[in-house]
Amino acid sequence: MYHVWSHSNPLSALSSKSQFQKCSIDTYRATGLRFLKTAERPPLEEYILRRNNLAEALVADGIDAFLVEPGYTFSYYANVTQPEWEVWEPEERPFLMVIRPAKLANGSVIANATFLVPHFEEVRARLLRMPFIEKISTVTYEEHWNPYTTLWESTIWGDTLSPTLMVDEEMRDFISRGLASNGFTVVGLGGKVEAVRQIKTERELGILRAVNTGTVEAIRAMRKCLYRGVTEKEVAEVLDNTMRAAGMDPFFDIVEFGKQAALPHGGHDGTATLQPGDFVLIDVGAHLYGYSSDVCRTFYPPFFQNPPPPEYNLTEKLDVWKLVLDAQAASVNAMVPNGTAASVDLAARGIIEAAGYGKEFTHRLGHSLGIKAHESPYLNKGNFGSILRSGMVFTSEPGVYVSNRFGVRHEDILVVREDGEAENISGGFARSPWNP
């Protein structure tokens, strides 16, 4: 049982944004927020495991060290984001984590981390409480020194004259050039090092399940409170505050009504008002313990009756809604170990092309996600080089966009499983335009 607000409601004041928000949050909380039970903040041991997995990958790739500055990857390995280090803006003084492999007497490989940091910032770096058992090791430089030469001259390299460094994809160009010009051989992210983040641990999957299911449940709760005349901007604001009620941190919204949704990523000013017969397309993401959600639903508001009145002539829209869902199902069936990223995209694309809407499916099928909403590998029809492995996580988000008329996209989060059946960790697939 839920409330539907409309301008004809005698309690018309309840159709204001504040009452819309109260309805949405109350409906959301009424679920019990049980999805949060699978989420646990990663402990120290998780970060040690990640760094040691990285160290083994460095040995396999023949790389002397992996370098990263504060950002998503730094957060993955040491739980520090860029804003936590530089609350004003990314600055010109390099603060780098240098992870090197170290071989133990028993033949195992562990990670050895050193931090390149300005001397006057060394104490602040130690106060970050990064997840290390022992006191962090630092190489410091003064303001008038060359930080890259300082790192090259440090004792951490032993007898290696020109260490080969792999830099993260987020590394700024001036730092990569500085390293390459001062004794290091610099290569871009790739190989087994890049693959470390692509396989999620069960703890990571628990967080991803919670944040993505929680995001879908927030959309479902908010939908029950939609009313005629609400704006796209108001829906985005209410949805964000609804997710915050579960402790999640929203970071993007795409809310489009009717013909606005013919642009996959929006671009309008958000002032469109919701009317009967309009599809509502919502693509939204939030963070929980640093991990991302990224889901999409296309649906009708609750005040639009099912089945729809014949005067609206919605046969094509309803057919396309089901077509896109069928394409998503085909992609899930293709999401198996040892398959290619391209084969998953092509499975969905073939369904849409066979129905005559191939030109209206204008983007790739999906991407991996984790600490970042968009991570490699990417599911596009040309990516035959990326092989799927158990534990990888992908979006499946096929869409059809009919210019100036309407758009439909369904997006869910899937885990590649060893038994060959991909698992939905975003609260289940959409069932109908009235049951997303």
3-state secondary structure 122-176: HHHHHCCCCCCCCCCEEEEECCCCCHHHHHHHCHHHCCCCCCEEEECCCCCHHHH
Decide if 344 contacts 398 (C-beta within 8 A).
Answer: no
Sequence-ordered list of residues with C-beta below 8 angstroms from that of 89, at least 6 positions apart, any chain = none
Please tell me whether the overall predicted TM-score, pTM, comes out greater than 0.95 for this model.
no
Structural element, H or E, at residue 409: strand 406-409
Paired residues of 281 in beta bridges: 256, 298
CA distance 150 to 94: 12
Going residue by residue through the chain, which has 436 residues, state the pLDDT in tens, using 9 for 90 and above.
344 444 444 445 455 889 999 999 999 999 999 999 999 999 999 999 999 999 999 999 999 999 999 999 999 999 999 999 988 888 899 999 999 999 999 989 999 999 999 999 999 999 999 999 999 999 999 999 999 999 999 999 998 889 999 999 999 999 999 999 999 999 999 999 999 999 999 999 999 999 999 999 999 999 999 999 999 999 999 999 999 999 999 999 999 999 999 999 988 999 999 999 999 999 999 999 999 999 999 999 999 999 998 899 899 999 999 999 999 999 999 999 999 999 999 999 999 999 999 999 999 999 999 999 999 999 999 999 999 999 999 999 999 999 999 999 999 999 999 988 899 999 999 999 999 9
Fold classification of 44-198 is Creatine Amidinohydrolase; Chain A, domain 1 (3.40.350)
CA distance 230 to 77: 43
Structure tokens at 200: 């999620």
**What's at 385, amino acid-wise?**
G
Paired residues of 413 in beta bridges: 395
Helices and strands (H and E) in the chain: how many: 12, 17
Structure tokens at 11: 């309690």
Q: Using alpha carbons, list the distances in angstroms from residue 365 to 339, 412, 434.
A: 15, 11, 24
What's the confidence (pLDDT) of residue 421?
Answer: 85
Residues carrying CATH 3.40.350.10, the chain: 44-198
What's the confidence (pLDDT) of residue 15?
Answer: 53
Residues carrying CATH 3.90.230.10, the chain: 12-30+199-424
Decide if 320 contacts 433 (C-beta within 8 A).
Answer: no
Decide if 23 contacts 3 (C-beta within 8 A).
Answer: yes
Reported for 420-423, long-range contacts at CB under 8 A and 24+ positions apart, including other chains, are 420/336, 420/337, 421/336, 422/332, 422/335, 422/336
Sequence-ordered list of residues with C-beta below 8 angstroms from that of 155, at least 6 positions apart, any chain = none
- Which has the closest alpha carbon to 73: 395, 283, 376, 284? 376
Q: What is the CATH number of domain 12-30+199-424?
A: 3.90.230.10
What's the confidence (pLDDT) of residue 16?
Answer: 82
